[in-house]
Structure 1
Amino acid sequence: MAQIVEREDEYVHVQFRDPDAFQTVREPNWAQWVAWSVSSSARVRIGKERGCEEWTVQSVLVDGEESLAREQAEQIAA
């Protein structure tokens, strides 16, 4: 479930986890390809939380209205 939704330039930034909890965050190409099946402009930030070796979605950036962006981001992160 999205925690924070805010406009950031041309994107709506839908944050799922606190960025300070991560030791590393990246926007890998393979994650973008998956996201583009939902929204052609989406960007996905994934990372490893401190003390964990698994990659998880930190946030999704989507172009558009906030309500639709939240819905699309949650679909991408699922």
Structure 2
Amino acid sequence: MKPYFLSLGSGLLVGIIYSFLGVRSPAPPTIALIGLLGILLGEQLVPLAKRLGCRSDAIAYLRTQGAGPVLGTLTGGRRA
């Protein structure tokens, strides 16, 4: 049940931000896609920040676990 409340709270926060920016909801496609990109990148910031103490760990994370959720599958079936 907790994820539902977190999702609702996040949606309310985004709605408030949209109101301040003067963006109508649902957002126009370009704004919505940029927002989704921000969500994807934001999800990767916390794990990356945890690994910044050791640069090689941070780079390894970006190459293995960080790039996949953001970039998806590349042509030829290879993962990013």
Range into which the TM-score falls when normalised by the shorter chain: under 0.3
User: Where is the helix percentage greater, Structure 1 or Structure 2?
Assistant: 2
Q: TM-score, normalised by structure 1?
A: 0.26
User: Where is the strand percentage greater, Structure 1 or Structure 2?
Assistant: 1
